[in-house]
Amino acid sequence: MSELQSEYDIDNDIDKMLAELPPPPPIFAPRGLAVAAQLVQVLSVSAPDILAPSLNYSTSEVLALALHDSAHRNDISGPSIPRHSSLFSGTRPSSQHRVSFEEMSDEWFETKSDLTRVRTALGIPDLFISSRRERSSGDEALAILLSRLSYASRLLDLSDKWGRSEAAISRCISEIGLLIYNNWSRLLEFNPRFHTPARLDHYAACISAAGSPLSDVWGFIDCTINEISRPVVNQDIVYNGYKKGHALKYQAVVTPDGLMCPTYGPVEGRRADGGILEMSGLDETCTSHAIGADGRQLFVYGDPAYGLSNTVISGVRRIGGLTDNERKLNLKMSKLRQSVEWGFGNVSRNFAFIGYPNGLKLGLQPVGRFYLLAVIFTNIRASMYPSEISVKFQCAPPPLEDYLESFK
């Protein structure tokens, strides 16, 4: 009888407590969270059996403290606690350990002043404001984008590194990347203002001085296969039989100063190199503009898959065998043509994220833009520091500011 009376008293106490509470606000509003925290705390002490069987006193107390803590961390109706916040992970909220740009190490260029130089040359403002009014310095925004491209990391990793939410990091990467691409994608095109007859003649002279038997070659052309995650739809379109996986392809001409320009893509992984050349329109462009100062036609050199065209030449192939001179020509040009592989290697080495297929998902990310941004930054680095290509051909690239000015 006493047990029944005890249960009755508990029920009366709970009813009385609930009756004295104010009308419950929305459960996820700050005030509602505070009320819920108080209620759970009282129940865990006075009537623990009423709680779900899977909860005991300790977990109930944790829940009460979590709800109470979250009430102070939310200033609008609705849950705004990040998925990986300190509420669950035991770490400090990101706003409490935000790292300023001045505290970061020199990771992408030789000095931080070089990063500021690049930011200024690209026209990125001193203060970058996202579409959600999130503010950061232009240097920090550029550094966040470079962090994404340089490492095969998750947004969570970047959030911990920069002390911003994953959503803010994602917006910064997307919006600063789009800004740079919209303003400077022309760095990937053949530009007569930059590719002048004098410059093309200089390229041809450097290649010839490096041992080329051909005196009218100004660059080396090739395609690269960039593997991506298996797409949800149209998987056969991007399937590459050579890699036996899904991929996008890009075409580039590498010049003796280490620049990759023009660059074309992305193209479906199933396309052949010759088909990509036709799609790019490079042959027609070079026919009109790849002309030396003396009026002679200049060429780019590629592997035998490209064959011969008005402006593209490749290694000699003949049924029945090659002469000694033809074999020597192919051997010398093949060694020089390795520079185009070095160019693609610089892209993947300096910007490792584009070499991480599981992170490149069509439909969820601007996969093609990421790769082309990596090429743009590779060219920027080539204009600032000596590369193995420019050293091999003894061909210095133009200074960064002159390089960018030519494409404005």
Domain-wise residue ranges, the chain:
2-79, 104-183, 189-405
Query: To the nearest whole number, what is the mean pLDDT of the chain?
Result: 82
Is the alpha carbon torsion for 94, 97, 100, 106 positive or negative? Answer: negative
| Per-residue pLDDT at 57 | 43
Least confident of 58-62, 77-81, 110-114, 264-268: 77-81
User: What is the four-CA torsion angle of 37, 41, 47, 49, rounded to 10 degrees?
Assistant: 70
Residue 347 has pLDDT above 70, yes or no: yes
Quickly list DSSP for 203-243: HHHHHHHTT-S-SSEEEEEEEEEEE-PPPSS-TTTTEETTT
Q: What average pLDDT does the segment 327-345 reach?
A: 92
pTM of the model: 0.75
Asked if 221 contacts 249 with a C-beta cutoff of 8 angstroms, the reply is no
| Per-residue pLDDT at 20 | 66
Quickly list DSSP for 53-99: TT--HHHHHHHHHHHHHHHHH--SSS----TTSHHHHSSPPGGGSPP
| Per-residue pLDDT at 321 | 79
Residue with tokens 């803590």: 69
Q: What average pLDDT does the segment 247-256 reach?
A: 97
Q: What average pLDDT does the segment 325-332 reach?
A: 90
Instruction: Using pLDDT thresholds of 50, 70 and 90, give the confidence band for residue 318.
Output: confident
pLDDT tens for 72-91 read 443 333 333 343 433 334 44
